Amino acid sequence: MTNSYDKDEMLALLDWFQAMGVDAAVGEMPHDWLARGDEAPGAGFSWPEREKAAPTARPVAPPQSARPGVSRSAPGLDPGRPRAATPLGASEAETGARRIARAVTSLEGLEAALQAFDGCGLKSTATKLCFYRGAPQADVMFIGEAPGRDEDLAGKPFVGRAGQLLDKMLAAIGLSEADVHITNIVYWRPPGNRTPTPQEALSCRPFLERQIELVAPKMLVAVGGAAAKEVLGAAEGIMRLRGKWREVQVGERKIPAIATLHPAYLLRTPAAKQLAWMDLLQIKSKL
């Protein structure tokens, strides 16, 4: 950017940025993303050698299909059921991520592995990794959609307005941050707060599955439609999915899981709070 723009042009440019979903400045100088040509985000990344990456880990999931572009991973977190074809890049990213995630034996290790992981394109536009908030081990694990602007700046999930409402929802059933583990289906903010693509969710999923194994919750709560689809492996909308217990297979465990409405939706649609309250009561009674 040069200073040949006058004030009106700069204001018009800022308006355009805002319309395109840019709502935070993350650096002193702009990145020219077009300068890297057709190279995909993370293209320069190479997976650690197998011996280095996975010395002793026990498998989280059954072996993946060798067919290019087709993942044998299930919809949702059950790795045993077939899922729709995904582009080869995403499938490769998932396989590499699974190898790395399996080798990790602690949440600290998982965070370090995520910091080093370049297989999810969201990382290249995000400011910070958003790993989790709350207790390292908890009976209830809340899984949301994706970090937003506040989370991207803080490096923690659900710290903005929606997160504050989530905290109030938890308090309503006697839970605090110290009682729960809160994360998302992707660990980096999608530009402009768009919904993560299936490929982005797929590349993060091995880490999420490992995170669930390490946290060892008694139940999972998917927060909002995108998380519900990913966690429960379902195609229906959130209004159909919410409020019903299911079981999801994660590694060797079957874990009860329920979906509820996203607090960001509740902020826009206060009348839906009564539905969310019914879901919260289900969670409370299961505890």
Which residues form the interface with ligand URA (CB under 6 A)? 144-148, 151, 157-158, 160, 162-163, 184, 224, 264
- End-to-end alpha carbon distance in the chain: 55
How far is residue 28's CA from residue 52's CA, in Å, rounded to a whole number?
37
Give me Rg for the CA atoms of the chain. Answer: 20
Nearer to ligand URA, 61 or 231 (CB): 231
For residue 57, the minimal CB distance to ligand URA (Å) is 28
For residue 179, the minimal CB distance to ligand URA (Å) is 18
How far is residue 73's CA from residue 94's CA, in Å, rounded to a whole number?
9
For residue 108, the minimal CB distance to ligand URA (Å) is 20
For residue 223, the minimal CB distance to ligand URA (Å) is 6
- Which one, of 194, 207, 99, 84, lies nearest residue 143 by Cα? 207
Nearer to ligand URA, 91 or 184 (CB): 184
* Calculated CA dihedral for residues 274, 279, 281, 282, nearest 10 degrees: 150
Nearer to ligand URA, 103 or 207 (CB): 207
For residue 33, the minimal CB distance to ligand URA (Å) is 24
CB atoms within 10 A of CB 125: 16
Nearer to ligand URA, 78 or 152 (CB): 152
Phi, psi of 8 (to 5 degrees): -65, -40
Nearer to ligand URA, 145 or 213 (CB): 145
Q: Which residue is nearest to ligand URA (CB)?
A: 144
